[in-house]
Amino acid sequence: MARRPQTIPRSAADRAAAEPVARTGNPVDLSPLPDRVGYVLRRAQLAVFKDFNRTCAEYDIRPAQYSVLTVIENNPGLKQIEISTALGIKRTNLVALLDLLEQRGLARREPVPSDRRSYALFLTSKGKAFMDRVHSSVARHEDNVNGALGDKGREQLLHLLNRILDKIGPAPGEDEV
């Protein structure tokens, strides 16, 4: 793994071996990647998340955390399994996420008398106030994205992405959790 150890002076013979190729600028041929949906999708998603993080930096909240808080906000009393299913997060990965939100005092787990295995999730009053403030930052973020797309483009994009979600589901047989 130590490919470049402390000091290994390369020989003059080495230096004379291969020709320079001299790739100066960056006219790198990315083909066929820019025509691959997956590649462009990934880069666009990263750009959008980066804008989200930038716009909401003052609140130190990640997109995944925001989505969880939003679902709790609109569906108070949900169980963890319901949130994880709805958001496509494995229930095993939701645990740490909720731990964090609970530690920050934004959400709380509450025992469910009717099912002592599960917890009902709620925003704390602090969490509600927090979301009230975050929503406006997220709106600004959305404006950035919509500004790039236009209303029509945004609708088209959502429609196309939903087609992907509908048709590129889990493998035939390999279902869910």
Partner DNA sequence: TTATTTTGTTATGATATATAACATTTCGGG
Partner DNA sequence: CCCGAAATGTTATATATCATAACAAAATAA
* Dist CA 127 CA 106 (whole Å): 4
What is the rounded (10 degree) CA torsion for 34, 39, 43, 45?
130
Question: In sequence order, which ranges of 56-124 are alpha helices (DSSP H)?
Answer: 63-74, 80-87, 91-103
| Cβ pair 117, 79 in contact under 8 A | no
What binding mask, one character per residue, do residues 35-74 give for a copy of itself by CB under 8 A, x or -? xxxxxxxxxxxxxxxxxx-x--------x---x--xx--x
Q: Does a cis peptide bond (omega within 30 degrees of 0) precede residue 32?
A: yes
Partner that binds at residue 58, options DNA, a copy of itself, none, CB closer than 5 to 8 Å by kind: none
Q: How far apart are the first and last CA of the chain?
A: 37
The verdict on 110 binding a copy of itself (CB under 8 A) reads yes
Residue 151: contacted member of a copy of itself, DNA, none (CB under 5 to 8 Å, by partner type): none
Number of residues that bind a copy of itself (CB under 8 A): 89
Residue 100 within binding range of a copy of itself, rule CB under 8 A: no
User: From DNA, a copy of itself, none, which one binds at residue 163 (CB under 5 to 8 Å depending on kind)?
Assistant: a copy of itself
- The residue among 90 and 163 lying less far from DNA, judged by its C-beta, is 90
CB of 69 to a copy of itself, least distance (A): 11
